[in-house]
């Protein structure tokens, strides 16, 4: 997703510059704005906050239990939107923590 001028694949420590790869640009430009993509990705993303992980796991369970109920379709979609919002809020907090920790700036 990104390349650092240190050639390290482990971290950006010691890098004076980083750049986004073609795949990273595509994710940033198109996929991160796609609700369906985010709803799928969150299910495979490691979460480092036990409360967020439990909320997301419960939400996946709740949506799966509503799948056969046509009359509850709106409730299912609202649950998915809430789940994606929870995921995005978590990612935002993680990014802010990394910026403070590594003293990076937003581009």
What is the per-residue pLDDT across 9-28, written as a single tens digit (0 to 9) for each?
677 777 877 788 888 888 77
In sign, the C-alpha dihedral spanning 41, 38, 90, 100 is positive
Taking only the tens place, the pLDDT of each residue in 27-74 is 778 777 788 888 988 889 999 999 999 999 999 888 876 667 778 888
Q: SS3 of 9, please?
A: coil
Task: Of 89, 96, 93, give the one whose Cα is nearest residue 55.
Answer: 89
Which tokens belong to 33?
């704005």
Which tokens belong to 97?
């923590």
What is the predicted pLDDT for the residue at 106? 59
What is the predicted pLDDT for the residue at 14? 79
Which tokens belong to 58?
């419960």
> Does the pLDDT value for residue 105 go beyond 70?
no
Cβ-based neighbour number of residue 68 at 10 Å: 7
């Amino acid at each position: 997703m990104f390349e650092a001028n240190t050639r390290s694949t482990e971290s950006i420590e010691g890098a004076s510059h980083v750049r986004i790869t073609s795949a990273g640009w595509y994710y940033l430009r198109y996929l991160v704005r796609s609700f369906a993509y985010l709803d799928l990705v969150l299910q495979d993303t490691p979460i480092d906050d036990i409360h967020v992980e439990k909320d997301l796991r419960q939400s996946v369970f709740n949506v799966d239990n509503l799948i056969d109920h046509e009359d509850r379709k709106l409730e299912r979609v609202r649950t998915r939107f809430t789940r994606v919002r929870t995921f995005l809020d978590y990612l935002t907090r993680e990014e802010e923590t990394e910026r403070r920790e590594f003293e990076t700036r937003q581009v």
